[in-house]
Amino acid sequence: MTRRVGDASISLDLVGELRGPDVVTLQTMIFQAIIEGLADELVVDLDGVDFLGADGHQVLVSGYVVAAEYGTTYRVINARAQVLATLQANQTADMLADSRDLGALLLAVLSRPASGRA
């Protein structure tokens, strides 16, 4: 994981697998950058990520939610292969690509299967 800071933007360049207990470190870095107001924009680059597990996916989505709450632009970029397929299967690829795209957020919410609703 590489952290690049420039102007009011922070880029996290990730490598390897996003699953298991290691994702806690990533979540801490994302939340810290957003909550402490270190960035107007946070970019999470998945170019070097080989595998995205459910817990890694949850961290990316929770980062999106926290960024929206704090008014930080949040983008997850360069997802490929299994990582992109996981984001698409969860209908979050477009939403995570750009937090300023409210249409993608609405589509993700409306596309979710109904669970327990009568």
Write down the domain spans for the chain.
Answer: 2-111
98: nearest Cα among 108, 113, 90, 86: 108
CATH H-level superfamily of 2-111: STAS domain (3.30.750.24)
Look up residue 86 and give its two tokens. 């996981």
Q: What is the pLDDT of residues 72-87, one digit of tens each?
A: 899 999 999 999 999 9
- Average pLDDT of the chain to the nearest whole number: 84
Q: Which run of H or E residues covers position 70? A: helix 54-70
Q: What angle do CA 78, 81, 84 make, to 5 degrees?
A: 55
CB 55 within 8 A of CB 20: yes
CB 8 within 8 A of CB 41: yes
Rounded to 10 deg, the angle between the 23-35 and 54-70 helix axes is: 0
Q: Is the pTM of this model over 0.85?
A: no
Look up residue 68 and give its two tokens. 């929206």
Q: What is the pLDDT of residues 23-57, one digit of tens each?
A: 999 999 999 988 887 778 999 999 999 999 999 99
